[in-house]
Structure 1
Amino acid sequence: MVAITHHPYAVSLAARALYEIADAADVRIACEQGSVWITLDHDPRDIVLETGGAFRGADHRRALIYALAPCRLAVSPARAERPRPWARAPEPVLP
């Protein structure tokens, strides 16, 4: 079982390997190479990704990822970081 961090990471799986994400809400799974089958708890859909495909989890559900072929995945948080107030450009000073 894997807890998603705020940083993207790569996962390489051999054919027929299984990988679990405990909570796939707001997690983006991109297939960079190979093909995978993703199933979510209590979700009737079957999601198949091939090279170049991506999936974003919308609900708090466990995701099981099964490698249909050797594959490489990029797993990352789907939400973009909020801008930091202190990182904004300064307001122009008018005379």
Structure 2
Amino acid sequence: MTIRRIDSSAGLVSLSKRDVLSLAGRPGTRIESRQGGLWVTQDGDPRDVVLACGEACVLDRDGPVLVQALEPALVMVERPAKQAARAPGLWQRLTQAAFSA
């Protein structure tokens, strides 16, 4: 059994039977089986998910995630786009204008 770790990048990962992929999960991360069966476990989530080829799951929380290949598998990990910084709201703009004048 081999354990592989993905830190931040997304992509396609090839796993042999019983290999484990470890990643830092965050909401919106999509895990898809492109080939083979996968067992997905997320820390703090009582549900485990088993994916067949062509199936996917989307994470709904932060925390460590383990993806184990039940057979030789290809796993696609897609991270959500980082949210752009929010523009200041009306109240913040008015407050800044009042105190900067």
TM-score, with structure 2 as normaliser: 0.70
Query: Quick one: distance in 2 between partners of 1:32 and 1:80?
Result: 24
Query: Quick one: distance in 1 between partners of 2:83 and 2:53?
Result: 26
- 1:79, distance to aligned residue in structure 2 (A): 4.7
Query: Quick one: distance in 1 between partners of 2:35 and 2:53?
Result: 5
**1:44-68 per-position Cα deviation (integer Å, ceiling 9, x unaligned):** 1010001010011111011101110
State, as a whole percentage, how many aligned pairs show the same letter. Answer: 31
Change (3 A) 1:62 1:74: same
- State the partner residue of 1:54: 56
- State the partner residue of 1:87: none
- State the partner residue of 2:7: 3
- State the partner residue of 1:45: 47
Number of aligned pairs?
80
* Paired AA for residue 43 in structure 1: D
- Unaligned 5+ runs, structure 1: 83-95
Q: Which has the higher helix share?
A: 2
Query: Quick one: distance in 1 between partners of 2:82 and 2:32?
Result: 16
Change (3 A) 1:79 1:56: farther
TM-score, with structure 1 as normaliser: 0.74
Mapping 1:1-95, distance limit 5 Å:
1-5=5-9, 8-79=10-81
Q: Which of the two has higher C-alpha Rg?
A: 2
Runs of 4 or more consecutive aligned structure 1 residues displaced over 6 Å after TM superposition: none
- Unaligned 5+ runs, structure 2: 85-101
